[in-house]
C-alpha cells in the first residue's frame, strides 16, 4: 500500500525533530563518538540487509567487522557514475519506491547530476536540521528568509501565520529581475551562494540603493574572495555565517560564533581520502567521502562528493561545539588547471595567490589551452581597474614558468545553469579530450 506524499511540508514532524538537531551541537566529544558509532552500525546493517546494491557488492566479512567509523574504510567508496548506473532499483531500500519517496536532483556542478530519494520520515529530521542551521545563525520567527536559488521551496503552513516566510530570489533570472524580486520581498535573513548574493549587492550599490533591513547572511556552496564577503556584510550591516552542505549529505558543517566550521559529526560521517590513498576519519587534507548517518530510503555509504577539504582536530575556543573543524573546502576535485607539460595543478593554488589581492569582488580561471590561464576579475565598486589588474598580475607571477597567465577585467561572471560559479572553467577539450587517434 502506498500513501500519497503530502503536498505541503509537514510542520509537526519538523518541530518534533528540532530538539534532536539542536542537541547534536552541544554533545561532548566522547558522546559524539558514541552516537556516531551507534548510528553507523545501524546504518550499515540496514543498508546491507535491505539495499540490493550493497547486499550484492559488499564483502560480508567487512560488514561484520564494522564497529566504528575507522572500520568503514573496509567497504568500497561510492561515486556518482555508480549511483547513476545502479539507479533507484538497486539503491532504494526494500519497502521504498520512487512513488513513495521524495526525489531531489543535485545541481550537477560536477558535470554529472544524480537524483536522490528520501522518505518523509528522514525528511522530518533533515528539514529540522536545516531549520536548526538557520536558528543557530540567528533566525527569528518573523524574519523573511531570502533564498538565492534557481528553484524555490515548497510552501509550509506556518507562512500563513507570518512565520519564517520565504522570499525566493531566482538566480537564473537577470540581475535586474533579481533586484526587483529582492526589493519586493524585502528579506531580512539571506541564504545562498556567495557569488549570487555578492552580484546582487554589487548591482544595488551600482544603482545607488541603500538597504539596511538584512540582519544575517548564511553563505554556502562555493568559495568567494574574502573581500566580497566583507563587502556583502558591510553593505547590509549584517552578521555572516557559513554552512557547508550538499544535496546528498545535507549539512556537513556549520560555523560557530567564533567562525570555525565545525562538522555535524552525528549527522554525517566524514572520511578524508589522502593523495597517497590512505583514509582518515575527519582529519587531514584530501578528497571528502560522506555517509549520512540517518539515511533511510536511499543510503549513500562512503559517497564521493567531489570536494577537496582540509580538516583539523577541534581547537576552537567556543567551548560549545566539540567536533573537528573544516579549515578549507578547496573546491571540486575536477577544478584543475593543466600546465604546459600536461600535468595538473589544483585551481585552489591559483585562488590562494589571488587571496592577498584587495579590491576583487569575483574571479574565475578560464583555461583554453594547456599552460594558458585567463583570470576573469570583477573589481569591487570604485576600484580602479588597471591598478587592480596590475596587482593581480603581480600576485599570479608566483605561478611560475609552467603557465602563461593573463588578466581580464569584466563586469560580471556568468554562473552555471545551477547558479554556481565554477572556480575553473575549462573549455572541455583541454581536460577531457581523448588521446589523438592514430592515422586512420
**Span interacting with Zn ion, options 150-158, 221-229, 236-244, 312-320, rule CB under 5 A:** 312-320
Check: CB of residue 139 under 8 Å from CB of residue 216: yes
CB of 428 to Zn ion, least distance (A): 41
Specify the residue, 187 or 324, whose C-beta has the smaller distance to Zn ion. Answer: 324
What are the grid coordinates assigned to 347, written together?
Answer: 585551481
Nearer to Zn ion by Cβ, of 75 and 137: the residue is: 137
Place of cell 509537526: 12
Q: Of the ranges 225-233, 256-264, 288-296, 329-337, which one interacts with Zn ion (CB under 5 A)?
A: 256-264
Site string for Zn ion, 36-65 (x = CB under 5 A): ------------------------------
Q: Which long-range contacts (CB under 8 A, 24 or more apart) does 348-356 make?
A: 348/308, 348/423, 349/399, 350/375, 350/396, 350/399, 351/223, 351/423, 353/395, 353/396, 353/398, 353/399, 354/225, 354/392, 354/395, 354/396, 355/225, 355/226, 356/395
Please, what is the minimum distance in Å from the beta carbon of residue 255 to Zn ion? 8
Identified binder of Zn ion from the candidate list 101, 260, 367, 418, rule CB under 5 A: 260
- What φ, ψ does residue 222 adopt, rounded to 5°? -165, 165
Among positions 375-394, residues that touch Zn ion (CB under 5 A) are none
- Name which of residues 315 to 374 contact Zn ion (CB under 5 A): 316, 318, 321
CB of 318 to Zn ion, least distance (A): 3
Nearer to Zn ion, 137 or 396 (CB): 137
Cα–Cα distance for residue pair 124/126, rounded to 1 Å: 6
Task: Candidates 154, 186, 258, 274: give the one binding Zn ion (CB under 5 A).
Answer: 258
What's the CA gap between 345 and 25, in Å, rounded?
37
**H helix runs in 120-193, sequence order:** 120-136, 175-185
Q: Which is nearer to Zn ion, 261 or 407 (CB)?
A: 261
Q: Judged by CB under 5 A, does residue 261 bind Zn ion?
A: no
Kindly tell me which residue out of 9, 92, 93, 256 binds Zn ion, with binding defined by CB under 5 A: 256
- 105: β partners: 115
Question: In whole angstroms, what is the distance from residue 147 CA to residue 219 CA?
Answer: 11
The distance of closest approach from Cβ of residue 321 to Zn ion in the complex, given in angstroms and rounded to an integer, is 5
Per DSSP, which regions of 193-265 are E strands? 216-220, 239-246, 250-255, 261-263
- The nearest distance, CB 215 to Zn ion, in angstroms, is 21
Cell numbers describing residue 144: 523573511
Q: Which is nearer to Zn ion, 149 or 321 (CB)?
A: 321
Evaluated on CA atoms 245, 74, 300, 17, the torsion sign reads negative
Give the residue with the Cβ less far from Zn ion, 21 or 316.
316
Report the nearest approach of Zn ion to the CB of residue 242 (Å).
12
Judged by beta carbon, residue 80 or residue 321, the one nearer Zn ion is 321
What Cα–Cα distance (Å) separates residue 84 from each residue in 90, 196, 228, 304? 10, 29, 36, 13
Rounded CA separation 38/416 (Å): 40
Write down the least CB distance from residue 136 to Zn ion, Å. Answer: 11
CB of 192 to Zn ion, least distance (A): 23
Least Cβ distance, residue 287 to Zn ion (angstroms): 25
Output 25 or 348, the one with its CB closest to Zn ion: 25
Binding site for Zn ion (CB under 5 A): 256, 258, 260, 316, 318, 321
Amino acid at each position: 500500500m502506498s500513501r500519497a506524499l503530502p503536498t505541503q511540508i509537514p510542520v509537526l514532524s519538523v518541530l518534533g525533530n528540532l530538539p534532536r538537531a539542536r542537541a547534536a551541537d552541544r554533545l561532548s566529544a566522547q558522546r559524539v563518538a558514541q552516537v556516531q558509532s551507534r548510528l553507523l552500525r545501524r546504518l550499515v546493517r540496514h543498508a546491507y540487509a535491505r539495499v540490493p546494491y550493497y547486499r550484492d557488492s559488499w564483502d560480508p566479512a567487512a560488514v561484520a567487522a564494522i564497529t566504528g567509523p575507522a572500520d568503514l574504510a573496509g567497504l568500497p567508496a561510492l561515486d556518482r557514475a555508480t549511483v547513476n548506473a545502479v539507479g533507484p532499483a538497486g539503491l532504494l531500500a526494500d519497502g521504498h519506491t520512487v512513488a513513495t519517496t521524495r526525489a531531489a536532483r543535485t545541481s550537477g556542478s560536477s558535470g554529472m547530476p544524480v537524483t536522490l530519494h528520501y522518505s518523509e520520515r528522514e525528511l522530518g529530521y533533515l528539514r529540522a536540521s536545516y531549520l536548526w542551521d538557520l536558528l543557530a545563525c540567528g533566525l527569528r520567527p518573523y524574519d523573511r528568509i531570502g533564498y538565492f536559488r534557481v528553484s524555490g521551496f515548497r510552501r509550509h503552513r506556518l507562512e500563513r501565520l507570518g512565520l519564517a516566510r520565504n522570499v525566493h530570489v531566482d538566480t537564473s533570472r537577470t540581475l535586474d529581475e533579481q533586484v526587483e524580486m529582492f526589493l519586493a520581498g524585502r528579506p531580512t535573513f539571506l541564504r545562498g551562494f556567495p557569488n549570487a548574493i555578492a552580484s546582487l549587492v554589487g548591482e544595488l550599490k551600482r544603482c545607488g540603493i541603500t538597504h539596511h533591513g538584512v540582519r544575517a547572511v548564511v553563505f554556502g556552496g562555493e568559495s568567494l574572495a574574502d573581500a566580497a564577503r566583507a563587502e556583502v556584510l558591510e553593505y547590509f550591516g549584517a552578521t555572516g555565517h557559513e554552512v557547508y552542505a550538499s544535496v546528498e549529505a545535507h549539512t556537513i558543517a556549520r560555523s560557530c560564533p567564533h567562525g570555525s566550521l565545525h562538522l555535524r559529526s552525528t549527522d554525517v560521517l566524514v572520511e578524508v581520502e589522502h593523495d597517497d590513498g590512505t583514509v582518515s576519519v575527519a582529519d587531514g587534507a584530501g578528497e571528502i567521502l560522506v555517509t549520512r548517518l540517518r539515511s533511510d530510503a536511499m543510503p549513500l555509504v562512503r559517497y564521493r562528493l567531489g570536494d577537496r577539504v582540509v580538516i583539523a582536530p577541534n581547537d576552537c575556543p567556543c567551548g560549545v561545539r566539540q567536533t573537528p573543524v573544516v579549515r578549507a573546502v578547496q573546491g571540486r576535485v575536477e577544478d584543475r588547471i593543466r600546465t604546459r607539460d600536461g600535468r595538473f595543478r589544483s585551481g585552489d593554488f591559483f585562488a590562494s595567490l589571488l587571496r592577498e589581492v584587495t579590491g576583487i569582488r569575483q574571479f574565475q580561471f578560464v583555461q583554453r589551452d594547456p599552460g594558458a590561464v585567463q583570470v576573469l576579475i570583477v573589481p569591487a565598486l570604485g576600484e580602479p581597474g588597471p591598478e587592480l589588474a596590475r596587482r593581480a598580475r603581480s600576485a599570479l607571477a608566483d605561478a611560475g614558468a609552467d603557465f602563461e597567465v593573463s588578466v581580464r577585467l569584466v563586469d560580471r561572471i556568468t554562473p552555471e545553469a545551477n547558479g554556481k560559479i565554477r572556480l575553473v572553467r575549462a573549455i572541455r577539450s583541454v581536460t577531457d579530450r581523448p588521446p589523438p587517434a592514430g592515422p586512420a
